[in-house]
């Protein structure tokens, strides 16, 4: 996936997540570090219902774009919802679960992509 495609995909995912007030939105370019995906999008929900609502918004946006969803894990529990969009993997966490897994630290070599209202410096 080209850098422009990465940004475009991450941007609509971020927009969908932010439409449901997702917190601490981060997109990481992991393409040079793993073959499982090109981008990780990470967001936080304030409750299991909120995490599911964020996931629903992303899934709805994917459907509108004809984006194939390869899988969704953790939706029923709502503590860590993982959405596999092939080249992009979305992680929607509750705050304490995000802190425990700390994907930003684990993937600290991945540059951040400028998406969302407050694009992080990395």
Q: Which among 77, 109, 106 has a CA at the least distance from the CA of 93?
A: 77
Query: What pLDDT shows up at residue 116?
Result: 66
Task: State yes or no: pLDDT of 119 exceeds 50.
Answer: no
Structural contact between residues 44 and 23, judged by C-beta atoms closer than 8 angstroms: yes
The model's pTM: 0.91
Structural contact between residues 101 and 93, judged by C-beta atoms closer than 8 angstroms: yes
Residue range 3-106, CATH number: 3.30.460.10
Question: pLDDT by residue (tens digit) across 78-109?
Answer: 999 999 999 999 999 999 999 999 999 999 99
Question: pLDDT by residue (tens digit) across 15-58?
Answer: 999 999 999 999 999 999 999 999 999 999 999 999 999 999 99
């Amino acid at each position: 996936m080209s850098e422009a495609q990465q940004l475009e995909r991450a941007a609509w995912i971020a927009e969908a997540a932010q439409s449901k007030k997702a917190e601490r939105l981060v997109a990481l370019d992991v393409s040079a570090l793993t073959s499982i995906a090109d981008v990780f999008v990470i967001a936080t929900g304030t409750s299991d219902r909120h995490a599911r609502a964020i996931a629903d918004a992303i899934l709805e946006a994917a459907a509108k774009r004809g984006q194939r969803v390869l899988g969704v894990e953790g939706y029923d529990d709502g503590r860590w919802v993982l959405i596999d969009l092939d080249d992009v993997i979305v992680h929607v966490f509750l705050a304490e679960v995000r802190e425990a897994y700390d994907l930003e630290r684990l993937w600290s070599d991945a540059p951040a992509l400028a998406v969302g209202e407050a694009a992080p410096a990395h």
